[in-house]
Structures are given as structure tokens and as C-alpha cells.
Amino acid sequence: MIIKPIATNVITGFLGVGKTTLIKRLLADKPVNEKWAVLVNEFGEVGIDAALLGGSGEGVEIREVAGGCMCCAAGVPMQVAINQLIAKAKPDRLLIEPTGLGHPREVLKVLSEPHYQNVIKLKSTLCLVDARKVTDARYREHDIFNQQLEVADIILATKADLYTQDSLSDLKDYLQQKNLQGPNFNKASSLLTVSMAAVLPRELMTLLNEPAVIPAAKPSKPASLLTPKTSVFELDYNADVLEFDERGMVSKSNVGEGAYSCGWVFDPSYEFNFDELLVWVKSLEVLRFKAVVITDEGIAGINLVDGEMTITELDDVMDSRLELISLSQINAKVIEAKLLSLSSRLSC
């Protein structure tokens, strides 16, 4: 029996640019006769993106590697997760979403290893970018932000409905400066734009089926310096078992690439005050806040990036999960006390 290699796309982009939203939309449009698998990597430790993708429908298998860059430690966490996901799902297509603070070049290197040649067929790498960020030194001077653009075969400028007149031209100028876009440059990437509320560009799926162009490797830091982190662990979203403390909570933290994360999981007996939670979230000065929470007004997915907040209504979750990512250290005790004040524990 001849086994057809699995079409595989790496979907990268900095924190909060909309990778999970895009993947959910791709899954909604997948051919009905195909089975797709998704491997999600999060910088934080509590695993929220898989919960957001959990209701993506029939013919979809999701697995998560949380707690840092899954390509580190010689790519072992990623290879284990990929092997288990392929064995379980036997997918027609595999979508891999590295953390926004991960090393996509290392991810592609692992996927290009000889033992995957007959298993995986690398297709176009997609980088999502908010064009407004290229004028922000925190992004423009960040190695990971630039590496994501450098490895991309397709660059998708998201949140286009929020751009000023100059946003897209700023991005195009930056890509030309980096020799990343246009016929006269070393690596010509297709540049598309999309509002996350609009339909996806029709040519996106066609471009995603093109073979990937693997960029030449650059000298890397010693493995011990790649991503300092507390741990890397796998989560099968459909079989995620957590050990709650006597309060019905789990807390985890992580540090790496100049960023800090703190996350909490609350068992399903907790109910958050929706209005008070939103007021508090809006007051945060962090790089990223995201959550899936059980509230007194239903189940909500909350995302805050650079002061912009979006809210999504969800059908079902197994627990409440909240996480902050910041470029400065986080006072976890203060945040935890605030979260407890915003919630009540219902009697069983």
C-alpha cells in the first residue's frame, strides 16, 4: 500500500495577530471528505488556543504543545507530538501553529529531516502580520518577528480594516528593505490582505498548496540559550487531565525571549462576572491577554492585544483558562487575587 505524504503548512506570526482565528476559518472551509489535524504550540503553559479550536467540527484532530518553543531540545517535543497526532488522526492535511515567540526556522528544519520525507510534504509557510506593527521598534527589532517574515512563502496582512492609509505601504517598504517581497529580491513572498471579519482571499488555499521554499539556515545560538523556559508538555485537548489544588485551581508560568507569562486554570465550578472581568481586562497593560471563561452571561473567548480587545461566544469548555504575556515581570499573586475577586465558586 502506497502512503501519500501529508500536506503540511506551518502558520506563523507574532502574538495576537490572529493565527488561531485563521486556522478555525480554514477548518470550517476544509473539504468534507478530508481529515485535517492541527498541532498548536503556545508560549504559555495552560493551553488556551486548543480550547478555542475545540469545536471546529468533524474530521478535525487537535493536539497542543504548551510551555515554550516546541522546536527546542533538538525538536523532540515537536516530533513526539507530530508522530502521535499522525498515528491517531491519519490526516490528509496537517496545520502547525508555532508559538508567536517560537523559532519558525527551527520548526521547518525539523520538518525537513530525512525521516519525514515520505511522511510529510511541506507546503507553503504562511506568516500573519499586523502591518501597523512594522513602525513599532518592539516588533521591528525583534528577532522572532523578523524570522517569521523571512521564512514565509505567503505573508497575510491581517486586521486590514483597522489600518491607516499608510499601514500597508509601510509593510511593503519594510519587506522590500528586508529583501522579502517583490520580483527583484532574494525571496519573493506573496502578500495578501484580510480583515478577520471578512471572507478569506480566494487565492489563499491555492497558494497554501504550493511547495514550501525552505530558507537557508542562519547560525543559531547554543541550544541552552534558545528559549529559557520552565517546561514543555503536551496536551491532547480531548484528554487533558489537570491536578487542581484544594481551591480548584492550577497556575503555571513561563519565561523566554524577553517575555513572561502567567496562566491559571479554574475548574468548572467557577463562574466569572462578565462585565467586571471585561473592565479589568481593558485596564491591563500587557503584551497579550487571552482567556476562555465560564461567566454569568455564558462562555466567552477573550483576546487583548496592544489595548485592542475581541470577544467570541463559545459553545462549550471544560474549564476556565486565563493567561497574561508581558515584556516585564508579572506579579502573579496580585493577578490571582484579582481573578478570585472577579469570580464565585458555585456549589456542586
Tell whether the model's pLDDT for residue 280 goes beyond 90. Answer: yes
Tell whether the model's pLDDT for residue 325 goes beyond 90. Answer: no
Average pLDDT of the chain, as a whole number: 80
69 compared with 308, residue with greater pLDDT: 308
Helix (H) or strand (E) holding 320: strand 320-326
pLDDT at 45: 53
The proportion of the chain whose per-residue pLDDT surpasses 90, expressed as a percent, equals 25
Calculate mean pLDDT across residues 284-298.
90
Q: Which residues of 44-73 are buried (b: 16+ CB within 10 A; e: fewer)?
A: bbbbbbbbbbbebeebbbbbbbbbbbbbbb
- When mean pLDDT is compared across 36-40, 212-216, 304-308, the lowest value belongs to 212-216
pLDDT at 50: 58
* pLDDT tens digits, 33-80: 999 999 887 665 555 665 666 555 578 888 877 665 666 544 677 788
Tell whether the model's pLDDT for residue 239 goes beyond 70. Answer: no
* pLDDT tens digits, 9-24: 999 998 888 888 888 8
Most confident of the following: 99-103, 174-178, 245-249: 245-249
Q: Which residues contact 107 (CB under 8 A, 6 or more apart)?
A: 10, 12, 70, 71, 78, 96, 98
Helix (H) or strand (E) holding 334: helix 332-341
Tell whether the model's pLDDT for residue 201 goes beyond 60. Answer: yes
pLDDT at 224: 30
pLDDT at 40: 85
pLDDT at 277: 96
pTM for this one?
0.73
